[in-house]
Amino acid sequence: MIFAGCTAVVKTQVKSVAENFIEMFDGLEDCAEREQKQKILEISSLMEEMDRKELCCVLAFHLFIVIDKMIDEKKLTLENALVLLKNIGYCKEMKYIRSIWFEEPPLIKIFQKLIINEEKKKEEKNERRLIDLCECYLLLNDEEIPDELLSIIVPCLLKIASKKDKTEEIQKEVETALLALGNIGFWELEEELYLKEMKDIINYHQKHHNLTRLAYQSAWQFFIYRFFNDDSLEEVIANKLHFAREARREIEELTRCIDWKRKKEGRRRKEAKEVRIIKRWIQTFEKFFLSCSLWNEEYEEIIGSIVRVFRASKDKYREICKGCISSLRNAAQNRDVKVDDLLKGRAVDAVLEEIQRPTLNGKIAFESLQFFTNVSRRLKEEADGETDEAKRKLEKRKIFEKMEVEGYEDLIISFHEIFYFIDKKKNINIICCC
């Protein structure tokens, strides 16, 4: 057995779906190529059923080293391995797992070499194999990507992502390519490598609606990561492609699609794809608020949308709830986001609601306190030409009145002690607003 000795460990840690995965994976090496393809489809379905902890557990058992060994010993064809690895990468992305195990040699080095060698071919180049290699590499790799590889991978996948056919097969191809591109992260890219093509992809969708929801979110995620290192893109993002307007519409439509109060059925409930996409949008907002500066009415409405997602998710989807609080914390930190907009969007109310939960998560508590820390600091800053002293005092009074109405007279005072403790322990420079 490939995973000999692992099943007993899994049995004590996670539910039976992981055991089924291991047993089915163990049987791959004894199958003919055609039967392997069918088993890989079944394995992929099992990965979809796994929760985040289960998939992490399975990946931790040197899965990529085992796959590399099977390829080397010709017990698994490269084509079948690519299908399997792409499905692993898709699930890893949708379940928010950092794939540290893929970075173990030799598989990542082999993929880098295969991509470069396939690109160098002239007459015998296998375009489908190159695409699969590029998608697998991006979906599974969370570390630095060499410039030589980016110059091959980005144009290759943008070519696929630019397909406009609305057939289910093409939409899936486009979705996978954009999902992979969205996982490039913060690595810098020359605008010549992507800007025109990605603008065209988003513009075309806004007119013809040819992308899936996941594909569209992934296209924006790719753009926001580029913006983090190149603020010259904000004019394109804000005023030409209307990120705020589009993002708000997407998450509000997704919010209406989800039964937020649905109870678990039996031992597990497969998470709806819409829930996963909302998680990705909230993560994108977290990154966006760190750098945005062209604050306008479209952006103001994002605050309200985040608060609505927070209220819908806070009882059943605590991970989304935490992401919402983190996004609001980053918004409060950004000097271009007006404190008054946080009030109008009911962000202050939302964070206060979270703090008074009887079972408050420690990480969410810290994010919530940081939100008020950021608001405190902003209220203490000198007026900037748009906000005069009278308006600043009015905003400050509104915030404290909300806290008093909710019964937070004592908490206002205790914030001083909490901030002082964080300042001493975390080396954070905090200025309270009294």
* Digit-coded pLDDT (tens) for 2-25: 444 444 444 444 447 878 888 888
Instruction: Give the ranges where 141-242 is alpha helix by DSSP (H).
Output: 147-161, 168-181, 195-208, 213-229, 234-235
Q: Using alpha carbons, list the distances in angstroms from residue 208 to 19, 58, 97.
A: 44, 40, 33
Long-range contacts of 15-24 (CB under 8 A, 24+ apart): 15/54, 15/267, 15/268, 17/46, 17/49, 17/50, 17/54, 17/268, 18/50, 18/54, 18/57, 18/58, 20/46, 21/46, 21/47, 21/50, 21/58, 22/58, 22/61
End-to-end CA distance of the chain: 66
Report yes or no: 246 and 290 within 8 Å, Cβ to Cβ. Answer: no
Q: How many CB atoms lie within 10 A of CB 42?
A: 11
- In whole angstroms, give the CA distance from residue 431 to residue 434: 9
The arithmetic mean of pLDDT across residues 22-37, rounded, is 88
- Is 299 contained in some domain? no
Quote the DSSP letter at residue 103: G
Please report, as a single letter, which amino acid is at residue 12.
T
Share above pLDDT 70 across residues of the chain, in percent, rounded to a whole number: 80
340 assigned to some structural domain: no
Domain that holds residue 126: 1-143
Q: Is 70 exceeded by the pLDDT of residue 329?
A: yes
pLDDT score of 355: 83
Instruction: Report pLDDT for 407.
Output: 47
Instruction: Kindly tell me if the per-residue pLDDT of 100 is higher than 90.
Output: no
How far apart CA 72 and CA 344 sit, in angstroms, is 60
Per-residue confidence (pLDDT) for residue 13, from 0 to 100: 46
Say how far apart CA 274 and CA 271 lie, in whole Å: 8
For CA atoms 156, 159, 162, 168, the dihedral sign is: negative
81 or 263: which leads in pLDDT:
81
Tell me what pLDDT residue 398 has: 66
* Structure confidence at residue 430 (pLDDT): 35
In this prediction, residue 117 carries a pLDDT of 94
138 belongs to a structural domain: yes
Helix (H) or strand (E) holding 9: helix 6-13
Specify the pLDDT at position 434. Answer: 34
Cis before 106? omega within 30: yes
Mean pLDDT computed over 170-177 = 97
- Both structure tokens of 39: 């088993």
Average pLDDT over residues 259-277: 72
Average pLDDT over residues 189-198: 95
State the pLDDT at residue 96.
Answer: 85
Region of poorest pLDDT, from 45-49, 187-191, 224-228, 416-420: 416-420
200-254: pLDDT as tens digits: 999 999 999 999 999 999 999 999 999 888 888 999 998 899 999 999 999 999 9
The pLDDT of residue 271: 76
Mean pLDDT of the chain: 83
Q: How confident is the model at residue 344 (pLDDT cuts 50, 70, 90)?
A: confident
- Is the pLDDT at 326 greater than 50? The verdict is yes
Mean pLDDT of 415-433: 45
Q: How many domains does the chain have?
A: 1
In a domain, 63, yes or no: yes
**Residue 280 within any structural domain of the chain:** no
Does a structural domain hold residue 71?
yes
**Confidence grade of residue 270 (pLDDT, cut at 50, 70, 90):** low
The CA distances from residue 64 to 21, 67, 84, in Å, are 14, 5, 11
Residue listed under structure tokens 């009882």: 315
Q: Is 79 among the domain residues? A: yes
State how far the Cα of 403 lies from the Cα of 47, in Å rounded to an integer. Answer: 45
- The predicted-structure confidence for 402-412, as pLDDT tens digits, reads as follows 655 554 445 54
d(CA 370, CA 359): 19
In a domain, 89, yes or no: yes
